[in-house]
Chains A and B, each alone.
Chain A
Amino acid sequence: MENKNPISPHIQIYNWHISSLVSISHRVTGIINFITVTLIGIWIASLLLGEESYVFTNFFLSSFVGKFVCLGVIWSFTFQMLSEIRHLIMDLGYGFEQKTTKVTGLIVLIGSFPLTVIIFIVGRHLI
């Protein structure tokens, strides 16, 4: 017999914690990175088509929207990187105390922003 009882509310009512926020962001940035790497691959392959396609991507990446996309993608990468380091440490069995998870979670959340700016500036002026 099918159970027709209702299901109690879950994600609708459950509080967000720093660690759950980092976890869901890790997933989302993972998907974004997957798409980004594919797009970078297509971009590089498109260079084979000659100067025109280079000019086009250059034009796009120099525009305001292009720069915004760049920043977003770099943030997605830095976030994933920091979060991955956090996961590596946890895989070794460290950093499971409630306070520690909060601190490392905050480092990932907040730290990804200055790191994004640094990588963007380094990329624009040094490379």
Chain B
Amino acid sequence: MVQLSLPTNSKVEKGQYYKDKTGSKNIRKVNVYRWDPSKNENPRLDTYEVDMDNCSSKVLDILNKIKNEIDPSVAYRRSCAHGVCGSCAMNMNGKNGLACTKAHTELDGDIDIYPLPHLKVLKDLIGDLSTLYKQYESVEPWLKTSKVNDKENIQSKGDRAKLDGLYECIMCACCSTSCPSYWWNGEKYLGPAVLLQAYRWIIDSRDEDRKERLKKVADELKLYRCHTILNCTNACPKGLNPAKAIAEIKKMLATA
């Protein structure tokens, strides 16, 4: 169901203001979405004044600085800090991305940091991705082959090249949570991240389950809720193209 406004319990209120205590002249205001599950309150937007003279280059560095030096209660996911694990996916100044690869110099004005859009919030910047993981499981993202031998399963160079731009996906969910179709139909529409993964196995020359896979995904809601809005491709922090992968699935179904 298309719901443009947030439910009353999700409306973001004005939060606390943390004034700079270092006396720095190079201050940047950072607004962070906060919600504490242990309190019966609405989400709020806290503002932190951050000393940019002593802060490294990425948005994640700002968050770490806030957590270490200003307010240890801020919760967010992070792990590798090199754009490989996909943990720190969040919405920064209105666009999804990885906090660890996004340079704060690329963002204009005050920095607004929200969790990935249209998810159930678990705490602060942590959104609940369990629906997406279930959908990922539903496309059976593993090789299905009848070959049982102890040698390598060989693929031509051309066939291998077809997986480029697909295998690099780190499942950070930046694309799926940027997609309005996924916002309104997230329970049924698989979303760009999962469909890109589905295509990764459909196009794999070693997989013997292509027909079944295509049949499974060919569904009004699962696949065709993609209206090529292209927010996914715009958002992908790895420079991949989920919209094109979805279009290729549609093309395969139309020409099969």
Contact = CB atoms under 8 A, between A and B. Distances in A.
Interface stretch (B2-10, B54-62, B66-74, B213-221): B2-10
Given A6-B42, A13-B114, A20 B230 contact: yes
A96 B244 contact: yes
A118 interface: no
Per DSSP, chain A at the interface is loop
A90 B35 CA distance: 41
A12 B115 CA distance: 13
Which bracket fits the contact residues of A? 20 to 34
A17 B121 contact: no
Interface residues of B, number: 46
Contact of B229 (A4, A19, A92): A19
B251 A6 contact: no
A7 B227 contact: no
Interface string B6-43: 11011010000000000000000000010101000011
B244 A9 contact: no
Contacts of A7: 6-7, 10, 118-121
Contact of B231 (A9, A12, A19): A19
Contacts of A126: none
Interface of B: 4-7, 9-10, 12, 33, 35, 37, 42-43, 91, 93-95, 112, 114-122, 127-128, 178, 180, 183, 227-231, 233-234, 241, 243-244, 247-248, 250-251, 254
5 contacts: A5-B35, A8-B117, A11-B4, A20-B231, A98-B234
